[in-house]
Structure 1
């Protein structure tokens, strides 16, 4: 597979503290790639660098072969790179269907007139229902987002993300705070929606990504510690040491 997203020597310093040091990351097109590590490993900082919410101190970011290091966040999004938290703040008083329709209207590039026109939103009904079906929420289309369970709220957030038609979907700990049964449901959902697109996800728990990801990059103290499939990284003595005592190995 070809490389869709790549970093070369990606580094971020904060007043002398090196949060990310010389990270060379290669995300293959069509893969589910996990960026994992214990607390403080630098995972979220890398995500913030990739989505341009932070500027790197050094290094380069390439997307589909193009150097995007200096692009603004909006420009990155227009290229098809969408991060879950950017649109994950659903409107609790609106239904699941209404939340997805608003995301679709935003993608269509209309003005904020859609807030005042039911007709503008209703033309997105069919696609919104299709997206809800994709995340197993069709039966909750008329349920207010604030009344959904935590796991279903995360599924709704993924549906609104998909409304933006990303080529590369960045998920920031999509299963954090979930019960065991919800983790399995969201993992299956991620695997299903990954068909035809590329997914890069940050996750703290190594076990969560065992049967989900094609490739895993393990960070520790801002540097790549190990990389490979689950069978490879889970047996790496350095990874075991990094997770020792955390209960997540």
Structure 2
């Protein structure tokens, strides 16, 4: 894989907390235009890795680059401006606003960091056309006028994707997007992730191996803070080390 094919790369990424090695010497290459899943049982170091990659934590050792630019010491807000956005950064849904209004607020944020609540309705309405496109993209057209607080859990997650997409990320990082969902919602959100990946790269952390089976181009399996295995679903699901790591902790 050439350097131009790789959008996000970590080399020797390590994080130590007061003597505890949470992440040790992790190497990761996320291919541009792919859906890449990072999975592992509880305590595998997934969340720490994700926080390191998205700059909510600083690594003890190693380097991280995005589009060939070293971001190891950059702040989370700065990498968001580069086009690398973590879902929860802007996924707080305003329950008393409609679906369309929530997306409109995200668009205002992208265009200047000023919510402009005191602006006239006419000025705010200029965002409606693009906001509606984002709403359509996540399959919420029929719910555009509904209050966000009244949506089902799965549709709230879809709305969070819409507000994330309003920032036009080149790389979208999703932290357990299917957590707490019923099977019907998992299938809907999986299909949505597949759809929105058409012209974007997605890196997702997920606990459940079966959830990413049909979704991911590549899977990195973590255990005890280290990369245990990597490859497509068939490769990692048949790896004896992966099977052993999941025995006794379940797949859910």
Per the TM superposition, whether the score is higher than 0.5 is: yes
Pair 1:15-2:14 in alignment: no
Map 1:103-114 to 2 at 5 A.
103-109=106-112, 111-114=114-117
Pair 1:202-2:184 in alignment: no
Spell out, residue by residue over 1:94-135, the C-alpha distance to the aligned partner (whole angstroms, 9 max, x if none): 100000000001111152324543233211101111111111
Pair 1:30-2:29 in alignment: no
2:227 corresponds to which residue?
224
Residues of 2 paired with 1:37 and 1:120: CA distance? 47
* Equivalent of 2:236 in 233, 237, 241: 233
Alignment gaps of 5+ in structure 1 = none
After superposing on structure 2, the runs of 4+ consecutive aligned residues of structure 1 that deviate more than 2 Å are 110-121
Distance 1:110 1:55, change over 3 A: closer
How far is the alpha carbon of 1:213 from its aligned partner? 0.2
Map 1:66-215 to 2 at 5 A.
66-109=69-112, 111-215=114-218
Residues of 2 paired with 1:15 and 1:119: CA distance? 54
How far is the alpha carbon of 1:200 from its aligned partner? 0.1
Residues of 2 paired with 1:182 and 1:106: CA distance? 29
How far is the alpha carbon of 1:184 from its aligned partner? 0.5
SS of equivalent residue, structure 1 residue 127: helix
Distance 1:24 1:4, change over 3 A: same
SS of equivalent residue, structure 2 residue 79: helix
Alignment gaps of 5+ in structure 2 = none
Q: Which moved more, 1:198-207 or 1:107-116?
A: 107-116
Q: TM-score, normalised by structure 1?
A: 0.97
Number of residue pairs matched by the alignment:
249
Residues of 1 paired with 2:207 and 2:99: CA distance? 28
Distance 1:105 1:42, change over 3 A: same
Q: Could you tell me whether the CA contact under 8 Å between 2:108 and 2:115 is conserved in 1?
A: no
Distance 1:187 1:115, change over 3 A: farther
Q: TM-score, normalised by structure 2?
A: 0.96
Distance 1:15 1:110, change over 3 A: closer
